[in-house]
Structure 1
């Protein structure tokens, strides 16, 4: 139920981006994470490496990101945000934050911060868990 409420509040704020929420996540990752190449980006976002190029292509076409040769491997490509991409992200991030505050309105500011911290910790754990352990009956 919470996930549906979150999606209903946040999705309209990212609809203007290519690929919506996925485009927003990719922009976030290339702006704030030091990921050396597209493979690392795919792993971080949990996107199949064969699908990621299509997401990137749409963001390149919109002028939000560009591909550059990776520093340590000229065959690999690193995705970087353009200045336009950073500007667009900042605008959308403000709208996403406002929508998130609305979703979390039942919590006071301290509780909201704590909830975000705990959720972030759980997301990092989920990313690090081996695939064999994901989705088992004992998870929750």
Structure 2
């Protein structure tokens, strides 16, 4: 945004009398921090915490994936993924198996112990989610999740550099909501 657009944006917020509670970034931050705290407690004891859970869940739900593909899919640095898999493997939750189509690659496969663990972890995460979204009824929670997932998928598909340029070129009137 140019400096004149930033000034109009700030003046628009002040004129509209909007508080910080009306700011999307503030709301997302509050909800994220609360969910991160609840989820971390729910995933206590899982090697790698939330990332370890995501790896295990992906291996259970989507089946075997190549280690590098799994890292890319979850947005985890490949070196970090190696250490994470080492810890999950030591805990008996996943194992690396040779990829029959590429002898240089390894497939990440959930063990029986990992498949059993995922059920308990999902139950605990549902409780964490309910603690965070407790002010919404069940229908509102489903709608919130659906809308949030739609926004997340779209946001993940947009190149951040291109998106930043597009946003900077927009002249948004924030007083109209």
What TM-score comes out, normalization by structure 2 length? 0.71
For residues 122 and 60 of structure 2, the distance between their equivalents in structure 1, rounded to whole angstroms, comes to 12
The aligned length equals 138
1:75-86 superposed matches below 5 A = 75-86=104-115
Displacement, 1:124? 2.3
1:31 aligns with 2:36: no
Change (3 A) 1:69 1:122: farther
Q: Aligned partners of 1:54 and 1:91: how far apart in 2?
A: 24
- Alignment RMSD (CA, Å): 1.9
In structure 2, what is the equivalent of residue 64 of structure 1? Answer: 93
SS of 2:79's equivalent in the other structure is coil
User: Any unmatched runs of 5+ in structure 2?
Assistant: 1-29, 169-177
Counterparts in 2 of 1:110-125, with a 5 A limit?
A: 110-125=139-154
Q: Which one has more relative contact order, counting CA pairs under 8 Å at least 6 apart? A: 2
State how far apart, in whole Å, the 1-side matches of 2:59 and 2:152 are: 18
Q: In structure 2, what is the equivalent of residue 47 of structure 1?
A: 76
Unmatched tracts of structure 1, length 5 or more: none
Q: Give 1 or 2 for the bigger CA radius of gyration.
A: 2
Would you identify which runs of 4 or more consecutive aligned residues in structure 1 move more than 6 Å? none
Partner of 2:126: 97
My pick for the range that moved more, 81-90 or 118-127, is 118-127
After TM superposition, give the deviation of residue 50 of structure 1 in Å: 2.1
Instruction: Give, in angstroms, the shift of residue 131 of structure 1.
Output: 5.0
